[in-house]
């Protein structure tokens, strides 16, 4: 799962976007529109500002 840090609160946000480290590196300059539960608003981040959640944060298939 893709995670990012909220630019307003600085809190970590886990999205429902499934990806890999390899794919995320390929999308480093891609603009992603993501919803933030902390701000209750959308943020636009670059792929390079996100990361893939460590195994313990991933949802089991």
Residue 1 has pLDDT above 80, yes or no: yes
Residues 5-60 pLDDT 10s: 999 999 999 999 999 999 999 999 999 999 999 999 999 999 999 999 987 544 54
- Residues 49, 36: contact at Cβ < 8 Å? no
pLDDT of residue 60: 47
- What is the predicted pLDDT for the residue at 54? 85
* φ, ψ at 2 (rounded to 5°): -80, 135
27 and 47 Cβ atoms separated by less than 8 Å: yes
């Amino acid at each position: 799962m893709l995670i990012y840090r909220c630019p307003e609160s600085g809190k970590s946000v886990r999205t429902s976007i499934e990806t890999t480290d390899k794919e995320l590196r390929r999308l480093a300059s891609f603009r992603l529109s993501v919803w933030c539960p902390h701000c209750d608003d959308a943020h636009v981040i670059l792929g390079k500002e996100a990361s893939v959640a460590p195994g313990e944060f991933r949802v089991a298939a």
